[in-house]
Copies of this chain bind each other. A is one copy, B any other.
Amino acid sequence: MSKVKKILVDKGAEIPFYNRMDFCVGSGRMGLALHKEYYEQLKMVQEAIGFKYIRGHGLFCADMSLIQTYKDESGSQAVEYNFTYLDRVIDSYIDLGIRPFLELGFMPEHMASGEQTVFYWKANVTPPKDYKDWTDMVQAALRHLIDRYGRENVIQWPIEVWNEPNQPDFWKDADMDEYFRLYEHTALAVKRTDPGFIIGGPSISGRLDEACMRSFLEYVSYKKLPLDFISRHNYISHPPEKDGRYNYVKLSSIDDWFQPLDKTRELVDSFEEFRGMDIHVTEYNTSYVPDCPLHDTNLNAAYTAALLSRFGDKHASYAYWTFGDIFEERGVPYTPFYGGFGMVANNCIPKPTFWTFAFYKQLQGRCVHRSDEAIIIRRPEGSYRGILWNTDFGYEGRPLELEIQLPAEFAGYCLVTETVDEECCNPLKLWHDMGEPFNLTQAQTALLKRHSVPLIKSERISCSQSKIKISLMLKPNGVIYFDLSKTKMKSDRGYSYERILRGEIKGEG
Contact = CB atoms under 8 A, between A and B. Distances in A.
B394 A439 contact: no
A453 interface: yes
Contact of A85 (B70, B238, B332, B485): B332
Of A68, A435, A455, most buried by chain B (CB within 10 Å of CB) is: A435
Q: How many copies does the complex hold?
A: 4
Contact of A416 (B331, B346, B447, B457): B447
Contacts of A257: 509
A495 interface: yes
A242 interface: yes
Contacts of A82: 331-332, 334
A414 B433 contact: yes
A495 B244 CA distance: 7
A412 B432 CA distance: 13
Contacts of A38: 36
A146 interface: no
Contacts of A409: none
B414 A252 contact: no
A501 B299 CA distance: 9
Nearest to A292: B500
A458 B428 CA distance: 11
A416 B430 CA distance: 8
A129 interface: no
A499 interface: yes
A505 B395 contact: yes
Given A84-B335, A395-B504, 6 more contacts: A237-B509, A238-B509, A246-B495, A248-B504, A335-B492, A455-B455
Contact of A248 (B333, B393, B500, B509): B500
A435 B414 contact: yes
Contact of A436 (B453, B492, B501): B492
A484 to B, nearest CB: 11
A6 interface: no
Contacts of A396: 505
A175 interface: no
Nearest to A91: B442
B456 A492 contact: no
A429 B38 CA distance: 34
Contacts of A453: 450, 453
Q: Which 10 A-B pairs have the closest CB atoms?
A: A244-B494, A252-B509, A435-B487, A250-B507, A244-B493, A256-B509, A65-B332, A243-B494, A433-B458, A36-B36
Given A435-B487, A487-B433, A503 B248 contact: yes
Interface string A16-47: 00000000000000000011111100000000
A423 interface: yes
A383 B289 CA distance: 38
B245 A492 contact: yes
Interface in A326-355: 331-335, 338, 346
Interface residues of A, number: 103
B456 A447 contact: yes
A223 interface: no
Interface in A476-498: 485, 487-497
A502 interface: yes
B424 A455 contact: yes
A495 B251 contact: no
A92 interface: yes
Given A84-B439, A490-B436, A394 B506 contact: yes
A501 B294 CA distance: 9
Nearest to A34: B35
A107 to B, nearest CB: 19
A484 B424 CA distance: 19
Contacts of A87: 439
A438 interface: yes
A415 B435 CA distance: 11
A506 B450 contact: no
A267 to B, nearest CB: 19
Interface in A157-212: none
Given A434-B458, A493-B245, A500 B238 contact: no
13 contacts: A82-B331, A91-B442, A242-B494, A243-B494, A248-B504, A250-B506, A395-B502, A395-B505, A414-B434, A432-B460, A435-B487, A436-B497, A447-B456
A115 to B, nearest CB: 16
A314 interface: no
Contacts of A501: 395
Given A250-B504, A293-B500, A506-B393, A495 B439 contact: no
A496 B242 CA distance: 11
Nearest to A424: B455
Contacts of A487: 433-435
